[in-house]
Structure formats: structure tokens, C-alpha cells
């Protein structure tokens, strides 16, 4: 069955080609939309960054970096999850989180790439009775 006419001026659809095109048009549009979405993700024009971090680390370390990232890439949504370290490790391994920022030392396995980024000094306060 002929779908296209070739002429010296280009290509045009036959009647059968027009009928077939109506059936595949939405598929072609979906393919093009998918290609545009992947391009936008690649260029950081859209997407979701999923971070796991404790409340303390988020407040005292992570927030300035999130602010800079958001200014540079305003269309990227950021999600911060706060759980126990073991729970967040499990979420990371399942692919539910992109990366973690956690306190060390912790029990590590070979499937993780750990990069120390800063030292935090914790202190504890206690009320004394006089």
C-alpha cells in the first residue's frame, strides 16, 4: 500500500497515508513530548531532586546550598526527607532518594559512595541544680 507520493517538490501523503497518519499522530506527538521532557531534564530545566537529611543538617548545613541551587535551577523541585539514618539508607538503595547527607560514622557497605563534606561539632546542654 502506498502512503507517500514522491514528487520533484517533496513528499505528500496519499489518501491511505492521511488515514494512517490520523492513527499514528498521537503516538508521534507522545514521542516528541518524551524527547522534549528528556532534553529538559538533561538541561536541568525540570525535575525533582530527592534529598535525605536530618533536621539539624538541613537547618545548619544544607539550606544555603539549597538556596543557591534553587536560584540557579528554579524549575527543579526539591524534596527533603527526614528519617533515621538506616531508614534513609534503605530509601536511597530503593531509588526513593537521590542522595543523603548524614552524620558519620555510620555502618557502610560497598554499594555506597561516601564523600565527607564538612565537620559539625555537636554539644549537649544540661540543667544544673544549684
What pLDDT digit, counting tens, does each position of 58-112 carry? 888 889 999 999 999 999 999 999 988 888 888 998 999 999 988 766 676 777 7
Considering the domain architecture, whether residues 34 and 57 belong to the same structural domain is answered as no
Considering the domain architecture, whether residues 74 and 129 belong to the same structural domain is answered as yes
In the block, which residue shows the cell 526539591?
Answer: 78
What pLDDT digit, counting tens, does each position of 26-42 carry? 888 888 888 888 888 78
Considering the domain architecture, whether residues 128 and 74 belong to the same structural domain is answered as yes
Q: Coil, strand or helix: which one is 3?
A: coil
**H or E element, residue 15:** helix 15-42
Residue 25's contacts (CB-CB under 8 Å, 6 or more residues apart) are: none
Considering the domain architecture, whether residues 87 and 105 belong to the same structural domain is answered as yes
What total of structural domains would you count in the chain?
2
CA distance 75 to 90: 28
Considering the domain architecture, whether residues 54 and 12 belong to the same structural domain is answered as no
Residue 88's domain comprises 48-130
CATH number of the domain residue 109 falls in: 3.40.190.10
CA distance 112 to 130: 49
Considering the domain architecture, whether residues 53 and 35 belong to the same structural domain is answered as no
Amino acid at each position: 500500500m502506498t502512503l507517500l507520493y514522491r514528487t520533484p517538490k517533496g513528499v505528500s501523503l496519499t489518501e491511505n497515508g492521511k488515514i494512517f497518519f490520523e492513527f499514528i499522530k498521537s503516538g508521534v506527538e507522545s514521542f516528541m513530548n518524551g524527547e522534549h521532557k528528556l532534553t529538559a531534564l538533561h538541561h536541568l530545566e525540570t525535575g525533582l531532586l530527592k534529598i535525605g537529611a536530618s533536621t539539624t543538617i538541613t537547618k545548619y548545613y544544607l539550606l544555603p546550598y539549597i538556596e543557591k541551587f534553587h536560584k540557579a535551577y528554579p524549575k527543579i523541585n526539591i524534596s527533603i526527607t527526614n528519617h533515621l539514618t538506616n531508614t534513609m539508607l534503605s530509601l536511597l538503595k530503593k531509588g526513593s532518594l537521590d542522595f543523603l547527607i548524614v552524620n558519620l560514622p555510620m555502618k557502610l557497605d560497598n554499594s555506597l559512595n561516601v564523600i565527607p563534606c564538612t565537620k559539625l561539632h555537636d554539644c549537649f546542654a544540661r540543667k544544673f541544680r544549684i
